Amino acid sequence: MSDLALWGLFVAVGVGTFAMRLSFIELYGQLRIPPLVSRALAYVPASVLAALVLPAVMYPDGHGDFVLANAQIPAAIIAAAVAWKTRNTLLTLAVGMGALWSFKWMLG
């Protein structure tokens, strides 16, 4: 692929992405969102966060080898329990990182 075609592709993808995002902003006040869709959209941030975090926890090296000696799995479970119980972001981060460092130190 030539440089000109590659840059054309970049510009086309950028314009398409901008148009999609702008359409939601511009049409927000004009369209009526059904209550079912509105309730479903409330779960989008949590599902996106889970989709980003879970693969990084399960496969820390970025490939498909699931190992039982992965210190990130129990640390993530502990952090999730703290988040669920306290709803405190800073405490969750502190306990989760402390658990991760402790498990990594124990696994050597």
Specify whether 59 is located in the same domain as 92: yes
Specify whether 52 is located in the same domain as 14: no
Cβ-contact 71, 103 below 8 angstroms: yes
Q: What is the Cα–Cα distance from 61 to 98, expressed in whole angstroms?
A: 20
| Model confidence band, residue 61 (pLDDT cutoffs 50, 70, 90) | confident
Does a structural domain hold residue 38?
no
Specify whether 66 is located in the same domain as 89: yes
Predicted pLDDT of residue 28: 73
Residues 6+ apart with CB under 8 A from 4: none
Burial bucket for residue 75 (CB in 10 Å: 0-12, 13-18, 19+): buried
Specify whether 11 is located in the same domain as 53: no
Looking at the structure of the chain, the number of domains it has is 2
Of 4 and 29, more confident: 4
Task: Please state the rounded mean pLDDT for residues 14-20.
Answer: 95
Question: Residue 13 corresponds to which amino acid?
Answer: V
Q: Give the model confidence (pLDDT) of 71-103 as tens digits.
A: 898 999 999 999 999 999 999 999 999 999 999
Task: Please state the rounded mean pLDDT for residues 57-65.
Answer: 76
Cβ-contact 74, 99 below 8 angstroms: yes
Specify whether 61 is located in the same domain as 87: yes
Query: Which whole-number Å values give the CA distances from 73 to 7, 58, 87, 97, in the listed order?
Result: 41, 7, 20, 12
Specify whether 55 is located in the same domain as 79: yes
Does a structural domain hold residue 36?
no
Query: Structure pTM?
Result: 0.62
Predicted pLDDT of residue 60: 76
Specify whether 26 is located in the same domain as 58: no
Cβ-contact 73, 57 below 8 angstroms: yes
Of 21 and 98, more confident: 98
Q: Give the residue numbers spanning the domain of 88.
A: 43-107
Specify whether 22 is located in the same domain as 63: no
